[in-house]
Amino acid sequence: MLFHNSIRKELARTFGATLVVLVTVVMTMTLIRTLGEASRGVFNPADVIIIMGYTVLSDLPTILSLCLFIAIISVLTRMYRDSEMVIWFGSGRGLMSLLKPISRFAWPIFVVIFLLAFLVLPWSFSRIEDLRDTYEKRSDLARVEPGQFQESSNGNRVFFLEKDPDNKPAGTNVFMATREQGKETISSALSAKIEVIGPDKFLVLENGQRLEKSASKGDYSITTFDRYVTKIGADDTSTRNFTPTSTMTTLQLFVTPSLGSMGEFSWRTGLILTAFNLMLIALASAGSNPRAGRTGNLFFAFMVFVLYFNFLVLGRSWVESGKIPVGFLLLALHGGAFLFGLLMLAARHNQWTHLMVRRR
């Protein structure tokens, strides 16, 4: 019992340290990617931190699985290297006996991964899509950024202005190009301001010119104005008209069955099954080889993890395209990984070798 407690404490320390490092790396990568998307107008720059948090939350099942895998590999490799496993085996205990303390440590992580995969993942993806959709449906007035060319929501207008030095809802050196009803219009003005008339908002241009071209006739007309008023589109408060499968709850995946829904279900189910299978593979593959160095097992762990999750992503795409059914994917991929882990564990526990197998 004392030995089991020491293993669990060391696993907890290694798991916590690995989790902090991986979460920091993922947050940095997510921040860079989100800032790039915000600069392209996909997200509101003010929502970058919120979107980063939702994205990291959606990546937590994968991060937790990798942290558990690395923690088991690191701790058992250290025990092999310091000859603690020799003492453990010399007391008549085999490798299978370590499955109990490792499982007692890992089961809360499995519960968290299960809750994240089936409850938190669709919620976080839904929040990200809501923020993206709200920003795309913002009004034309909200799209105007000083010093930048901005396009309207329907693509019929392009705006440009310089910010007012007194931080008022106004601007100078305004440019606006419009294409509607078979006419192309280019308006420029020395200044502009916003006026609210009833429930509508208007952009008022002052001291400018207006060039209008007819697309059918090719005629031009130039107008000089002291004051020109144009209505700016309001915010679109309608709900999202498209629901990605990643934002659907697990119950909705079964209520509206489709290839996309089954692909998403295979991904969520695969997250918890992958974590369990990786625990078996980590227990079976841990060891110490002085010739390979200390990083040999970690490199093997990384390659197994990458290969497993690539097959998980590939299987999801196959289910969504209708190439294989979801039941066959879960049985072939995760069932095969489970049998592979058990076979490796039995071989290490019974000390099977090629020569012994050949003799048998």
Predicted TM-score (pTM) of this structure: 0.75
Chain centroid to CA 175: 38
**Banded pLDDT at 109 (limits 50, 70, 90):** very high
pLDDT at 294: 57
Higher pLDDT, 114 or 231: 114
**Banded pLDDT at 357 (limits 50, 70, 90):** very low
Instruction: Write out pLDDT tens, residues 252-279.
Output: 888 887 888 888 899 999 999 999 999 8
Q: Which residues make Cβ contacts (< 8 Å) with residue 185, sequence separation at least 6?
A: 177, 178, 179, 210, 211, 212, 213
What are the tokens at 202? 């208007």
pLDDT at 354: 44
Amino acid at 312: L
pLDDT at 353: 56
Q: Which residues make Cβ contacts (< 8 Å) with residue 14, sequence separation at least 6?
A: 70, 71, 74, 75
Chain centroid to CA 72: 26
Q: Specify which residues 230 forms β-bridges with.
A: 203
**Banded pLDDT at 235 (limits 50, 70, 90):** low
pLDDT at 293: 57
Q: What's the rounded mean pLDDT across residues 187-193?
A: 79
| First vs last C-alpha separation in the chain | 36
Amino acid at 163: K
> For the chain, what are the domain ranges?
2-136+241-359, 140-231
Q: Specify which residues 231 forms β-bridges with.
A: 202
Which helix H or strand E contains 160, and what residues bound it? strand 157-163
Instruction: Write out pLDDT tens, residues 287-334.
Output: 655 555 556 666 777 788 889 989 999 999 999 888 889 889 999 999
Half-sphere exposure of 138 (CA within 13 A, CB side): 17
Q: What's the rounded mean pLDDT across residues 89-102?
A: 73
Integer angstrom CA distances of residue 43 from 91, 121, 135, 234: 60, 20, 6, 19
Lowest mean per-residue pLDDT among 17-26, 90-99, 254-263, 333-342: 90-99
